[in-house]
Amino acid sequence: MEELLEKLAEILEVDELDGVKKFVDFEEWDSLSSLSVIAMLDADYKMSMSNKELLAYPSINAFCEDVLSRKK
Amino acid sequence: MNNPFSLVGKTILVTGASSGIGKAIAIECSKLGACLVITGRDERRLHATWELLEGKGHVEVAGDLTMEEEVEELLNLLPELDGIVHVAGVGQSIPFPYISKEKLDSMFSVNFFAPVLLSQKMIKKRKLRKGASIVFISSIDGPVTAHIGNAIYSSTKAALTGMAKNMAVDLASKRIRVNCVLPGMVETPLIHQGSISEEQLDQDKLSYPLKRYARPEEVAYAVIYFLSDASSFTTGANLVVDGGFTLL
């Protein structure tokens, strides 16, 4: 969980990540961020996800929990 | 009255004809009297394209152009051609920090090595008549513009335009012309696959002076110009079909 949160913090360009927030709540969130999260999931977690699915998570924590439970 | 854009009497190979731009090109060429050989990986969708072609005598050959044996099979089946349109291509958005050799190899294999090597083999096997026309579907991305996450895709398209110019020079003695069509965004299934949201697409259309994306047949018409005798003095050219996007 720590590792995934760190990767997300890097993409969102923040030092600390508030897991209760949604992706779109972050100031730096834009199309590059969403593509980066999708690319990171593919490269590091061998998982594919569409932009629509990504934005449907109610919080970063919910996203992380789901990704880690699906991790092969 | 002689129509310089007519394709009557010409036999044309179109790759990537199972869907999108390739499908539209094959259909529009058939309407102008061409005899088509169409190829694509998806047999069912390729056949659906074949069913929509006007006229008779068209041939469909399913296959993967990155596989050497399947390319050989296609080459053995081919009659002499007056034109090839290289449309088969893939796109994937990968921001530069996440590219890898694997992703580079994979996209270059389909978008660049396959069409270039197919062209070379066709010339070696004398499958292209003198005066034939080779058309590559490139993109504004690469040769002209850049878009977020499109580093690899753009590179493959820029490589095609560089190769086409040199092919134009090397093949001029055979009167074989080589040109590229550079579309902006085109309304095909590829753009609705999920990496860009529908809202983002609607917003993006506003940055086009003509306020919309191209219809696939509008790209086909540019290809038809290059395939026809109307472009008999045009070689090594890049024709941008982008609704004015690159003007701004």
**Poorest-pLDDT segment among A16-20, A37-41, B23-27:** A16-20
At A72, is the pLDDT very low, low, confident or very high (cuts 50, 70, 90)? low
- ipTM of the complex in this document: 0.85
* Closest approach of A38 to chain B, Cα-based (Å): 8
Using DSSP bridges, classify how beta strands B81-86 and B238-241 pair: parallel, antiparallel or unpaired. unpaired
Plot region of B149 (φ>0 → left; ψ -120 to 50 → alpha; else → beta)? left
Say which of A32, A40, A42 has its CB closest to residue B148: A32
* Chain A residues touching residue B93 (CB < 8 angstroms): 35, 38-39
CATH number, span B11-241:
3.40.50.720
The answer to whether A51 contacts B149, with C-beta atoms less than 8 Å apart, is: no
* Chain B residues touching residue A51 (CB < 8 angstroms): 194-197
Average pLDDT, chain B: 96
pTM of the model: 0.93
Active site residue B153: yes
At B197, is the pLDDT very low, low, confident or very high (cuts 50, 70, 90)? confident
Q: What is the pLDDT of residues B63-111, one digit of tens each?
A: 999 999 999 999 999 999 999 999 999 988 999 999 999 999 999 999 9
The answer to whether B93 contacts A38, with C-beta atoms less than 8 Å apart, is: yes
Model pLDDT, residue B150: 95
Interface probe for B, chosen from A28, A29, A38 (most Cβ of B below 10 Å), is: A38
What value, to the nearest 5°, has the Cα angle with vertex A41 and ends A35 and A45? Answer: 170
- For the segment B25-35, the average pLDDT, to the nearest whole number, is 98
Q: Where are the domains of chain B?
A: 11-241
Q: What is the pLDDT of residues B199-239, one digit of tens each?
A: 889 999 999 999 999 999 999 999 999 999 999 999 999 99
The answer to whether A35 contacts B149, with C-beta atoms less than 8 Å apart, is: yes
